[in-house]
Amino acid sequence: MKTEKQQTAVEWYAEEAMRLEIKKIKGNISVYQMLNELSNVLNQAKEMERQQIKFFFDKGHLYSGCQFGLEECYNKNFNKDEQ
């Protein structure tokens, strides 16, 4: 059984954006490099979001009419506040 919660695309994007900002502040990358990498990170986050939406759409169809709902599936995979 998987106990570690997955990150949402938004959480992943926020962490990556912060990592790039720290690299820029420390002088490890230029503003141009940071913006270029941030653009790539945004595109990756958009793709992650599309995949997450598809996952939950598919799960919703699999569990429709059952005791397992889409909200429960989301909470088990992404909601860090609930167990």
pTM: 0.65
Write out the residue range of the structural domain in which residue 15 sits: 9-77
Residue 23 lies in a domain: yes
Name the domain count of the chain: 1
Question: Within the chain, what is the greatest distance between any pair of CA atoms?
Answer: 55
Compute the distance between CA of residue 79 and CA of residue 55 in angstroms, rounded to an integer: 15
Q: What is the DSSP string of 19-63?
A: HHHHHHHTTSS-HHHHHHHHHHHHHHHHHHHHHHHHHHHHHHHHH
Residue 82 lies in a domain: no
The share of the chain scoring above pLDDT 70, in percent, equals 64
Residue 3 lies in a domain: no
Per-residue model confidence as pLDDT tens digits over 62-74: 554 445 556 666 6
Per-residue model confidence as pLDDT tens digits over 3-13: 456 788 999 99
